Amino acid sequence: MSGVFSLSRFLAVLLKEFIQMRRDRVTFAMMIGLPIVQLLLFGFAINADPRHLPTLVEVGDDGPLVRSILSGMDVSGYFDFRGTVEGVGAGEDALRRGEANFVVVIPDGFERDVIRGLRPQILISADASDPSAVGGAMSAMSGILEGAISQTLSGPLAGLANGPPPFSLVVHREYNPEGRTSTNIVPGLLAIILSMTMVMITAVAIVKERERGTMEMLISTPVRPLEVMLGKILPYVVVGYIQTIVFVLAAGLVFAVPFEGSMLAFFIGFNLFILDNLALGFLISTVARNQMQAMQLSFFTILPSVLLSGFMFPFAGMPGWAQALGTMVPATHFIRLVRKVMLKGAGIGDVSAEFVALTVILVVISIGAMLRYRQTLD
């Protein structure tokens, strides 16, 4: 029991640890892969000042001043013009469906009214359910407008360029008028909590069975794989239901998050999402050798759900490849669905795209899980 440090004992332990690490390939891959992935995500994908936000315009006038304003917005990089809308409510619908973050409305005879000194209004409706997505763009607007004014209003009209702006900008922050972050974060959090617990619990529950040797007993009985799979998964569906109920109540009571839309759309959506996560957990359980690996792999799948789904950072602000990755994450679609339903009052028709995406992901993951699952010990 000497207190002297033994170098040879220390090296023996060190070597043993390295050997064990090398044999545990999944953990090893995680240890290497995790920092790399995190670096990539934080370094490139996340953008707190998102640009290229999809924008629609409703133009009642296409004179040089309007064109100058629009091209100024375009050049600023914040706005990506995706087209025009016409008619009452069309812009609103596009916002609710998530097709655009902004709808710019320029009224009829805008330029004429400017010249007459009537100070007409430009209306920008912004989807403020994600406040950080619109904040940067909105603060850039005043500079864009000044530039447009000084370029266009020259010669006899130069007098208008000085003094107070010859027209006013009205911004409607839709769905989250106060721009509160909690209104945005809380519905998204449901997706994160559900994916974290559902994936992890399912993966661990099944791997535990194998690790403790009880799987050998189980499959030596005439029980069928589907029976095992459903029997192990369904209890966790119930857990997911309870989590969701508690969550929706807490969101309303604690954070005063509204629930504007269709209950049925929400119900269908969160069931699909829970199934996605359980299937993912099952898939992980077919890969992981022990509970530790199952935990690590589950945690690994949480990262894209947090970072690429539009939960913490605006989806539209990410580069194309990161958006493509994010599209494969079930949480991306569920977060959109929850925000649309809770904040924007969407009905079933408005979230059909999310239903389709969640179903496609479910089918793909389930096929993978069933292919990997073995009823024998081979």
Partner 1 sequence: MSAQPQPAIAVTGLTKVFGGRKVVDDFDISVPRGAIYGFLGPNGSGKTTTIRMLCGLLTPDAGDGQCLGFDVRREADAIKAEVGYMTQKFSLYEDLSIRENLDFVARMYGVAGRKARVDRALAELGLADRARQLAGTLSGGWKQRLALAACLIHDPKLLLLDEPTAGVDPKARRDFWDEIRRLSKAGVTVLVSTHYMDEAVQCDFIAYIAYGKKLIDGPAAQIPTMVGLTTWRVSGPELGKLEERLHGMPGVLQVARFGSVLHVSGIDGAALEASVRQLEAEGTHQWSLQPAGLEEAFIYLMAGARDNFAGDPAGAPL
- Residues within the interface to partner 1 (CB under 8 A): 212-214, 216-223, 376-378
Instruction: Give least dist CB 218 to partner 1, A.
Output: 7
- Cα distance between residue 303 and residue 318, in whole Å: 15
- Residue owning tokens 């490849």: 321
- Of 64 and 231, nearer to partner 1 (C-beta) is 231
- Of 17 and 227, nearer to partner 1 (C-beta) is 227
Q: If you compute the radius of gyration of the chain from its CA atoms, what whole number of angstroms results? A: 27
- Of 22 and 164, nearer to partner 1 (C-beta) is 22
Which pairs with CB-CB distance under 8 Å and at least 24 residues apart come from 135-138? 135/179, 136/49, 136/50, 136/51, 136/78, 137/50, 137/51, 137/53, 137/78, 137/79, 137/101, 137/102, 138/171
Instruction: Give least dist CB 208 to partner 1, A.
Output: 10
- Of 206 and 274, nearer to partner 1 (C-beta) is 206
Instruction: Give least dist CB 225 to partner 1, A.
Output: 11
- Cα distance between residue 149 and residue 124, in whole Å: 18
Strand order across the beta sheet in which 168-174 lies: 79-84, 53-59, 102-106, 121-127, 168-174
- Of 2 and 376, nearer to partner 1 (C-beta) is 376
Instruction: Give least dist CB 19 to partner 1, A.
Output: 11
Instruction: Give least dist CB 215 to partner 1, A.
Output: 8
| Residue 341 Cα distances to 7, 21, 99, 258, 337, angstroms | 63, 46, 15, 10, 6
Tally the residues of the chain: 378
Instruction: Give least dist CB 219 to partner 1, A.
Output: 6
Question: Which DSSP symbol is given to 224?
Answer: -
Instruction: Give least dist CB 224 to partner 1, A.
Output: 8
Instruction: Give least dist CB 231 to partner 1, A.
Output: 11
- Of 158 and 223, nearer to partner 1 (C-beta) is 223
Residue 266 near residue 338 (C-beta atoms within 8 A): yes
108 beta partners: none
Q: Cβ neighbours of residue 10 under 8 Å, at least 6 residues apart? A: none
- Of 19 and 324, nearer to partner 1 (C-beta) is 19
Instruction: Give least dist CB 322 to partner 1, A.
Output: 39
**How many beta carbons lie within 10 A of that of residue 283, not counting itself?**
25
- Of 236 and 334, nearer to partner 1 (C-beta) is 236
Cα–Cα nearest to 119, from 48, 169, 55: 169
The runs of H, that is alpha helices, within 288-349 are: 291-307, 320-327, 330-344
- Of 73 and 229, nearer to partner 1 (C-beta) is 229
- Of 39 and 217, nearer to partner 1 (C-beta) is 217
- Residue owning tokens 């993966």: 203
Instruction: Give least dist CB 29 to partner 1, A.
Output: 20
Residue 287 near residue 297 (C-beta atoms within 8 A): yes
| Residue 228 Cα distances to 235, 279, 338, 374, angstroms | 12, 13, 31, 11
